[in-house]
Chain A
Amino acid sequence: KAGVTQTPRYLIKTRGQQVTLSCSPISGHRSVSWYQQTPGQGLQFLFEYFSETQRNKGNFPGRFSGRQFSNSRSEMNVSTLELGDSALYLCASTMTPSGRGNEQFFGPGTRLTVL
């Protein structure tokens, strides 16, 4: 069974640009959560999608958005990039909504560098 895949693995952008990251969950999983990981802030929850609907949202500005498609694949978008957006972006999938004790399966992450 294939694991969670994220594309691209590495990305370099400049300030002011926008970026779209993609996450394909494990087959059969309908929930995708996104996290931002930085050395100073640790693992910060961005949002979760389940069955194409956003369930939860972390404390991030509106420049961060996401969506989920009918095949459960998810994308997150960051507009008007800032230097502080440089981070490892991880996505995780579960069969049912996260929480409720569900183990999350993580992808390898997309490392975004903003210059």
Chain B
Amino acid sequence: AQKVTQAQTEISVVEKEDVTLDCVYETRDTTYYLFWYKQPPSGELVFLIRRNSFDEQNEISGRYSWNFQKSTSSFNFTITASQVVDSAVYFCALSEFDDMRFGAGTRLTVKP
């Protein structure tokens, strides 16, 4: 069975602080995919990134960066110099052959 754990239920930071959202996953498969989605107050989940299990290269996109470490089964997400618009619920998800499972989400609040 696959499982995704986002231990941080809520995080609150002040604008311009850096913040890291943790994601730990469990799987027995060697081929799998990891995702991060953002859910703003409007409700619609927005795709941020996808990583396959064979690509451990970290990725940076503007203020966003992702650190994938198979040795610790983690796929953490860092926002640098956070902004109020980053306030949202962030979901980590694991996809194997058959379906996709989401973590419980981390609610990030960025205060001005």
Which residues of A are at the interface with B, using a C-beta cutoff of 8 A? 33, 35, 41-43, 45, 48, 55-56, 88, 90, 92, 97-109, 111
How far is it, in angstroms, between the C-alpha of A104 and the C-alpha of B102 when the chains are bound?
12
A73 CB → nearest B CB, Å: 18
9 A-B interface contacts by CB (under 8 A) = A41-B104, A45-B100, A90-B43, A100-B97, A101-B33, A101-B52, A101-B95, A106-B45, A111-B43
Is B44 within 8 A of A109, CB to CB?
A: yes
B21 CB → nearest A CB, Å: 14
Q: A42-B102, A107-B44 are in contact. List 6 more A-B contacts (CB 8 A).
A: A98-B100, A100-B95, A101-B52, A102-B95, A103-B35, A111-B43
Which residues of B are at the interface with A, using a C-beta cutoff of 8 A? 33, 35, 37, 42-47, 50, 52, 91, 95-105
* Chain B residues with CB under 8 A of A111: 43
How far is it, in angstroms, between the C-alpha of A41 and the C-alpha of B76 when the chains are bound?
21
Is A88 within 8 A of B43, CB to CB?
A: yes
Is A103 within 8 A of B91, CB to CB?
A: no
How far is it, in angstroms, between the C-alpha of A5 and the C-alpha of B46 when the chains are bound?
14
B106 CB → nearest A CB, Å: 10
Is A104 within 8 A of B103, CB to CB?
A: no
Picked from B43, B46, B99, B104, the residue with its CB within 8 Å of the CB of A99 is B99
How far is it, in angstroms, between the C-alpha of A104 and the C-alpha of B94 when the chains are bound?
12
Picked from A90, A97, A101, the residue with its CB within 8 Å of the CB of B50 is A101
How far is it, in angstroms, between the C-alpha of A35 and the C-alpha of B99 when the chains are bound?
12
* Nearest B residue (CB) for A92: B45
Is B47 within 8 A of A105, CB to CB?
A: yes
